[in-house]
């Protein structure tokens, strides 16, 4: 009796996850430390808000290390289908960390606004923001490419967060420039814009990962791709049911397909295996369950 699903470790997949985690943790620690020091020395509210965002990035980076390590553990009796559901759970914790950073950024900016603002001098703040934007741009492309190769929602959220950080650094830079050229209140206003970007990124990440945890359905184009993969298998006459839902970061697919009702059980079983293999070869699909029906029976049901 088999109690645990078959599992074949993928060293290349694990190496890609490791590379993404190293990039994320190292990059965020460097940015949080650098921006925190410069914000303290310069007194910039916008840069402080950006530094708070980087601190939250460090927190979620550490959560990612733990969560993705658990998610990649092989199936066991406690989780016979594997531990992949831990990945979107990590995504929710990332969202909470981002939301806390948004709150801290907004709180600091409002306090600075109420006090009348502060003209921030050029120098370290400008350099820190430009360096942050450059590093985060590189991190966005690096993590995005890995996320697409792995079909990892957590890494996709991380890549989008890196892109948001580029934009928030640009807003902080505008605030620093505006406090000199326009009005000291430009700096805390830019800090509030940074906070809004953080809140938006946190909301989008929470909504997406909550969908993965609660059994959201696949997008229409993905359902069509699954049906086409099954229909392309030799021996399949028709695909008349595709129910695809997320269980963790990937899909479980329930397929009903029609085959010739006069073939042997051995032939039918071989077709079922080929359909399962074809559907599970799609990167978004974790498991596929195939139900075979004779064409004649299905046509009779349609007529009735």
Between CA 44 and CA 3 the distance in angstroms is 59
Looking at residue 289, what is its pLDDT?
Answer: 95
Query: How does 230-240 read in b/e, with b if 16+ C-beta sit within 10 Å?
Result: beebebbeebe
- Contact between 138 and 55 (Cβ < 8 Å): no
**How do residues 213-243 score in pLDDT, each as one tens digit?**
888 898 899 999 999 999 999 999 999 999 9
Tell me how far CA of residue 86 lies from CA of 68, 213, 253, in angstroms. 7, 9, 20
Residue 141: how many other CB atoms lie within 10 Å:
12
Looking at residue 129, what is its pLDDT?
Answer: 73
Q: Which two tokens stand for residue 112?
A: 């600075």
Q: Domains in the chain, ordered, with CATH?
A: 11-213 (1.20.1510.10), 220-303 (3.30.70.1350)
Between CA 25 and CA 36 the distance in angstroms is 16
| CB-count burial class (<10 Å; 0-12, 13-18, 19+) for 268 | middle
Residues in the chain: 304
Between CA 173 and CA 259 the distance in angstroms is 63
Strand order in the sheet with 238-247: 238-247, 250-259, 285-294
pTM of the model: 0.69
The list of the chain residues with pLDDT below 50 reads 303-304
E strands, the chain, in order: 238-247, 250-259, 285-294
Maximum separation of any 2 CA atoms in the chain, in Å: 84
- CA 135, 141, 145, 147 torsion-angle sign: positive
Looking at residue 97, what is its pLDDT?
Answer: 73
Q: Which two tokens stand for residue 47?
A: 């840069």
Residue 258 pairs with which residues in a beta bridge? 238, 293
Query: How does 50-84 read in b/e, with b if 16+ C-beta sit within 10 Å?
Result: bbbbbbbbbbbbebbbebbbbbbeebeeebeebbb
**How do residues 113-139 score in pLDDT, each as one tens digit?**
776 655 555 566 677 777 888 898 999
Where do runs of H (alpha helix) occur along 43-152?
45-71, 86-114, 124-150
Provide, rounded to the nearest whole percent, the portion of the chain with pLDDT above 90: 27
3-state secondary structure of 292: strand
């Amino acid at each position: 009796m088999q109690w645990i699903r078959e599992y074949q470790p993928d060293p290349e997949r694990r190496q890609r996850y490791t590379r993404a985690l190293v990039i994320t943790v190292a990059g965020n620690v460097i940015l949080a430390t650098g921006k925190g020091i410069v914000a303290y020395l310069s007194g910039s509210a916008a840069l402080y808000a950006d530094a708070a965002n980087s601190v939250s990035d460090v927190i979620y980076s550490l959560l990612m290390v733990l969560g993705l390590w658990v998610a990649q553990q092989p199936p066991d009796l406690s989780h016979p289908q594997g531990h992949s559901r831990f990945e979107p759970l990590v995504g929710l914790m990332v969202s909470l960390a981002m939301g806390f950073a948004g709150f801290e950024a907004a709180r600091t900016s409002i306090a600075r606004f109420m006090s009348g603002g502060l003209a921030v001098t050029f120098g370290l703040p400008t350099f820190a923001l430009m360096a942050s934007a450059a590093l985060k741009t590189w991190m966005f492309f690096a993590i995005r490419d890995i996320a697409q190769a792995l079909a990892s929602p957590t890494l996709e959220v991380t890549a989008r967060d890196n892109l948001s950080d580029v934009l928030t650094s640009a807003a902080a830079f505008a605030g620093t420039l505006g406090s000199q050229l326009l009005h000291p209140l430009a700096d805390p206003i830019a800090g509030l814009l940074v906070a809004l970007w953080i809140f938006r990124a946190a909301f989008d990440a929470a909504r997406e990962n909550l969908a993965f945890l609660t059994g959201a359905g696949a997008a229409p184009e993905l359902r069509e791709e699954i049906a086409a993969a099954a229909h392309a298998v030799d021996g399949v006459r028709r695909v008349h049911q595709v129910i695809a839902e997320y269980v963790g970061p990937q899909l479980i697919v329930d397929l009903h397909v029609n085959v010739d009702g006069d073939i042997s059980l051995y032939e039918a079983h071989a077709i079922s295996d080929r359909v399962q293999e074809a559907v599970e070869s799609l990167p978004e699909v974790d498991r596929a369950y195939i139900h075979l029906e004779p064409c004649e029976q299905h046509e009779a049901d349609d007529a009735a």
